[in-house]
Each structure stands twice: as structure tokens, then as C-alpha cells.
Amino acid sequence: MEPISRHHPRTPVIPHTDWLRQAPENPSDMAFAVPAGIRLLLGIRPDIAHLKTDQLLDRIAVYAWWESDSRKDYAEMEWTLTPADLDALRGLHADELFTQGGRGFTRLLRGNWPSVLDLVPGFTARTREVVVVETSFTQALPQPLRLIWADRPDLQASYDIAQVSGRIGLLMWWFGFGHKEYVRVAWRVDASLRQLRPHGPQGTFPLPLFLSLIVQGRDDLRNLYPLDTETGWLAALIWWEQNGFHEFAVPSWSLRNHMALRSQLAQKSAAFDATRHLTPAPCARPLSYLPCLIWSARADLKAAFDLGSAAGCDGLEAWWKANGPTEYTAVISLFEDPASQLPGLNIVGYAQSVIGIAEDVRMAARSAQVAGLPCCVIDAPMPGPARLDHTLDAQMVTAPVHPVSLYCLPPTEMIRLGMEGGRSLLTADTYNIGAWHWELPAWPGYLAGVHQMVDEIWVFSEYVGTAFARLGDKPVRRMPLAVELPAIAGPDRNALGLPADKFLFLVMFDGNSWLSRKNPVGAVRAFKAAFPADRGVGLVIKAMGQGNNAAGWQAMLTEIAGDDRVVVIDQTLSRPDVTRLMASCDAYVSLHRSEGFGRIIAEAMLLGVTTVVTDFSGNADFCTADTSYLVRGERVPLDKDEYLFADGQFWCDPDLSLASRQMVRLREDQAERTRLAANAQKNIAENYSIEAVARAYKTRLQQLRQDHRI
């Protein structure tokens, strides 16, 4: 017997998935030869069972199905295209793909993964954009919608797009649901659909074109609301305001925000004379237009009130006063003169969070309320800070209601909003205003396109205004930022665990901001240099979310080095307790390297707390030699690890020796300290109050209406 060799050659191992790639039925030169494993799926998957492998276009459609998320479902499968496959795509034209209605090619429109179908000349241009115009109702839907319909048996069963009513139904599906599924398709509703179309005798019954097309095109509405009659026209307005607008979900189709229509309705109402114009018989005395029109449309009111008598007129007026505002809330405001009304505001941001930019949302809502501006709030539909504040819940909506949207989000978060669930807000055809914070002297050039998301930019300091003025042609307006504090009983060191007999300096920062920018370690060094052995002073450091492993935090703890005069508060406090903490200290120190505005500094000033601050960036608008102890410093370039978007940027490195001298001066000169604090408090109270912001909001929105921008 031969010995067993330890080096005996072995039979090559065949990968256990090889059989999935074998397709003996396909000639080797066949374009888009379908692997055997996927051929199997064609027989058992109902969503692709209609595709035939003996047709090139169907094989391409199978690959379109495969290259989407299906390859994730079958991770063991492989399908690698050959150069001949790619050449076959380049040799086609989009018209050839669409000869069969585009069957199988629209799955890729559900996501933004790369697609080889974009190699087909004309395919991208024909499938990526939907513009809804009048002919979308009267003739044919935009091609991407026709392709999607051809790929969806459920849509085919629900909507006969050869008929006007079917096309309207599919458009309603698209507005409400479809665009959320097919995210690769950019879409908009053309402004021409808001133009007014006259109906009735002498064209006295105006409707926006979109509403005319919907009412006249839908079988269930056409006979209910004959637009050549005044009562049918009114019924169409009532239906739209009560139901239609919510069914179609196109924000720009709000009649409340249609100034041209409302102006005509107001003129029509003002010119109405019931003693001459009411049919079939005139009124005994003048009555308002809307109750008379509703009376003429309702048999019960006609039977109850004979308007040929003064008693009948009195009865209708009494009924209208008691019931009209409840039953006809949706349309009453449409007949009021829009020139006498303030435009409304949608405020978008982290409405339920407890961070600085969330406070901007709450202050904007308060300012709108004080200004008398109609207002609603939209919580940014994307992942963000914990939703712990519910003070605005009663005002919350999910889609724009008013003609102006104010985004209380920095531009970085605006970009996230567009990518993470808020694109429909940005494209809702409202007048978009970005209320933008920024902390550096310039906005990165490669992100300059962010200005295209808004129609104008509001900034809260000259510093930020300079950064955004370079972006493009969008107006940049300086607006006051509301600074308001919750009511507190007063300072209470005992409740906060603070020493009662020391002069206390306070430093506050949020660890979610970069410590390199907030520079708390600089404040600790300045304090120690100012008071190396003075036991009558103390430093309170209030931190939140700093993370014990953060390098900046560890550097600060090292700098403290057991100095028992320094008190660190690193737990979460309620807003009233934070305010009480600020009021319980004698001075506030911010040796920041840059600030977009400096809300905490302004809040300390409003409390009458004297401040020592870096003389640089956004806070320079309200931190002057008459309101603060200023600390200048050298302008230094940023290292790439110090802050986001650091390339080519600079900020201020405050002079810590000067900061130390200012802290000593503040403590020793009570008269000067009191004078500066009083000046600062007066400035913030007068120029950054809710009332000041309300006036600015109201003035700007009125100007937008006068300029016919909204």
C-alpha cells in the first residue's frame, strides 16, 4: 500500500454560487444576458414575472430592477455587465425604451443610486423632472408620471389616464404620495395654474385655473358645482377650502394666500347691493354679500327668511351672526380685503428641543404673536436633538399654511433638511426666509448653493451678514433676535449650592458646540492669572453635553487642577434654573473665539449681569466699551481640526492677560461695573425685545405684500 501523501493534489472547489451565474440558454454574445439565478426569480417574483428574457428591452428592465435595492435582497447573486452590454445601452435612445410604455424602468426613480440606464441618450432628461401645467390636465400627464403609471398595475386599476378625471386622480396621488416614493423625480407646479379664469355671465365668477380644471374635469364635481352659476361657483370655493385643498396638498394652491383672487372677491363683496342685485327679488334693505349668496343657495334659509321684508332681513343677519362664522369659516376670510390683513408665517426648526436654535423658534413664534401675524410651527422632519419642549405643540402643523416660511435653522441644517425629509417644505412655493446663524467670517465657497434654498436671508449680526452677503443675489437683511428670559423669583445661591460670600464669575457653554470656539479653558486661565490667591472670588462653570472624554473638556479640568474656588456644574438644569444661576453670579465671562450672535451674553446683560467678552464677531453689535469689559486679541488662522469648514478661515484668540486685567477692574470698580451693566440691560431691553422683533417682522412682511412678493 502506498503511503498517503500529505501533498496530494486536490480537486478545485467550485464556488457554491456558480450555478446562479450559469445561463446556457443565452448565447455568449447576447446583450444583457440574464444570469440563471435571476431567470429563476422571473418565474416566482410577481413584480417582474411580466418581463421576457427574449426581448432586449425587457432584459434591460430586469437589470434596472436588479441594480436598485434588489441586489441587497439577493446578496449571494452577481451580475456584472460586459462592455458589450454598455455599448448596447449607448446605442439605444430613450424613445426606444418608451415604446412599450417604459415598462420596468421606473423603479430606479425611487432612489438616487447610480443607474446604467443614464447611459441611454435622452433617458435622464425624459425621466427626472415633472412640471405640472394646464396640458397635464387637458391633454397628457408629464412623461415620468405616464411611465410610473405604466409600471404600476395598482395605479392603472385606479386611474384611467386617457380620461381627464383619471389624470386628475393620478396628479392627486402624486401630490400626496407619489413624489415621496419617487424621490429621484424633481417636480413643481407651474405658476400659470394660479392665474384666474373667469366663469359665468360677463366672467364675474373668478377661480384659479387649477381649481377650474379640477372641478370641470372630475365627474363627481362637475354637476355638483356648475361654475356658470353663482351658487355653483361659491360651492366650488367652499369645497376647495374644506376638502379639496387638503386632498391635493399643494401649498401654493391655498386660496387664503391667493391675493389676486381675494382682491376680486373683496371688490365683488364691497360692490354688492342686495336691494338691487339679489335675485329673484330685491332685499327690503341692504345686506352683506356672503350671507345673501348662501341664502340663495339654501332652501332652508329661503323658507325661513323672506328677504322682501325687514323682519326677514333681520332674521338672516341674526342667523349669520350666530352660525355663519362656524359653518362657513373656510370662506369668510376669502371675501375680506387682503390689503387690510397681515400675511402669515410658517416657522420651521427644532421646535421641541432645548438648544439655542430651538429657542430661536420659540422667540420667533412669540414675536409673530405679538405682531398679530398669523403663525404656525413646523418641527423640522429630520433626526435632531431630543424633543423635550412642548410649549408650541398647539401651533404645530406638518405642511406650510401661510405664504412665508421662516427657517430658524443654520444653513448646515438647511442642507440636511433638504436631504433628510424636508425637501417638500423647501419646494412648497412659499416665500422662504433663512434665519441663519454662522460663527466664522466666511461661508465655504463649495457650499454657496445653499442660498438657492431661500428667497432672502435674515441675519442677527453684522458679522454674519458680511459672511452671507458674498453668497449671491439673495437679499441679506439684518434683523433683531429676540432675547427673553423666564420669570424667576430672584438670585438663590443656596438652592444652587454656590458660596454666599464670594464674588462669582460665570462661564457657560454647550458641549455640542466646539470647545475650541467657546474657549472655556481660556476663561479658567484668565481667572487664575487675575486672582492667583484671592479667596474672595470664585468661578462657576456651567457645562452641558460636554462628554468627559472630549479633549477640550479634559484640558479645562487639567487647568482647574484642584482649585477649590472653581465650581463645575455639569448636570442638566431647567431653563428657569439656568436663568437663576446667571442672576446669582456677579459677572459673566465669554472669551470665545467667534460667535454668530452671542445669546447667552445678551441674556446675562438683560439680567443686569456685567460681562467680560471677546471684542470680535456677532456679539460686537451689542458689546461695546459702554456695555462690556472688552477683550481684544490677535486674528489667527484655524487649523483643520479646530472647527468645521476651517480651510481659509480665521477667528480671534483673545488676549488672556488683558482678560485678566479686565476681570480685576470689573471686581474692583463697582461704580463702573454698575454703569456698564445698566447700559447693557437698557440696550438689550429696547432693541432685542419681543416687541422690537415683532415690529421688524411686521414691517418686513407688510413690505413683501406691498411689493407683490407674497
Instruction: State pLDDT tens for residues 111-133.
Output: 887 888 899 999 999 899 999 99
The mean-pLDDT minimum among 62-71, 298-307, 648-657 falls in 62-71
Mean pLDDT of 393-407: 93
**Dihedral-angle region of residue 16 (phi above 0 means left; psi in -120 to 50 means alpha; beta otherwise):** alpha
User: What is d(CA 645, CA 660) in angstroms, rounded to the nearest whole number?
Assistant: 31
- pLDDT, tens digit, 9 for 90 and up, residues 268-285: 999 999 998 787 788 999
- DSSP letters for 43-57: HH-TTTTT--TTSHH
Report the C-alpha gap between 612 and 268 in whole angstroms. 62
Percent of residues, the chain, with pLDDT higher than 70: 94
Residue 360 · residue 354 · CB < 8 Å: no
Mean pLDDT of 412-437: 90
Q: Strands (DSSP E) along 491-642, which ranges?
A: 503-510, 537-544, 566-569, 587-590, 610-614, 629-631, 633-637
Residue 551 CB contacts under 8 Å (≥ 6 apart), including other chains? none
Instruction: Tell me the C-alpha distance between 669 and 503, whole Å.
Output: 13
What was the pLDDT predicted at 5? Answer: 39
pLDDT, tens digit (0-9, with 9 covering 90-100), for 28-87 = 568 888 888 888 888 898 888 888 888 888 888 899 888 887 888 888 888 888 898 999
What is the C-alpha to C-alpha distance for residues 324 and 287, in angstroms, rounded to an integer?
Answer: 14
Separation between Cα atoms, residue 236 and residue 134, nearest integer Å: 19
User: Residue 202: left if φ>0, alpha if ψ -120 to 50, beta else—which one?
Assistant: left
Check if the beta carbon of residue 633 is closer than 8 Å to that of residue 654. Answer: yes
**240-253 confidence digits (pLDDT tens):** 999 999 999 898 89
Out of 194-203, 208-217, 505-514, least confident range: 505-514
Predicted local confidence at residue 14, as pLDDT: 46
Average pLDDT, the chain: 90
pLDDT average, residue stretch 461-466: 96
**Pairwise CA distance, residues 227 & 468, whole Å:** 49
Reply yes or no on whether the pLDDT at 408 is more than 80.
yes
Q: pLDDT tens digits, residue range 574-605? A: 889 999 999 999 999 999 999 999 999 999 99
pLDDT value at 6 more than 50: no
Runs of H (alpha helix) within 159-223 = 164-173, 179-181, 209-217, 219-222
Q: In degrees rounded to 5, what are phi and psi of residue 404?
A: -120, 135
Burial, 695: exposed, middle or buried (Cβ in 10 Å; 0-12, 13-18, 19+)?
A: middle
Higher pLDDT, residue 550 or 514? 514
Q: What is the per-residue pLDDT for 545?
A: 59
pLDDT band of 472, cuts 50, 70, 90 = confident
631, pLDDT greater than 90? yes
Q: Which of 75-79, 135-139, 375-379, 407-411 has the lowest mean pLDDT?
A: 75-79
Question: CATH 3.40.50.2000 occupies which residues in the chain?
Answer: 493-688
So what's the pLDDT on residue 65? 87
Residues of the chain with CATH 3.40.50.11930: 342-478
The pLDDT of residue 589 is 98
CA distance 210 to 287: 32
The pTM of this model reads 0.79
Q: How far apart are the first and last CA of the chain?
A: 99
Q: What is the CATH code for 493-688?
A: 3.40.50.2000
How far is Cα 194 from Cα 191, in angstroms, rounded to an integer? 6
How does 474-498 read in b/e, with b if 16+ C-beta sit within 10 Å? bebeebbbbbbbeebeebebeebeb
Q: H-type helices in 298-410, by residue range?
A: 299-304, 310-327, 329-332, 356-371
Q: In CATH, which of 3.40.50.11930, 3.40.50.2300, 3.40.640.10, 2.60.120.20 is domain 342-478? A: 3.40.50.11930
Q: Which three cell numbers stand for residue 408?
A: 430658524
Q: Is the pLDDT of residue 305 over 50?
A: yes
| Tens-digit pLDDT profile for residues 427-448 | 888 999 999 999 999 999 888 8
Least confident of 43-47, 220-224, 378-382, 525-529: 43-47
Average pLDDT over residues 451-463: 95
Strand partners, 199: 205
- The radius of gyration of the chain's CA atoms, rounded to the nearest angstrom, is 34
Q: Which pLDDT band holds residue 304 (cuts at 50, 70, 90)? A: very high
Beta bridge partners of 612: 589, 629
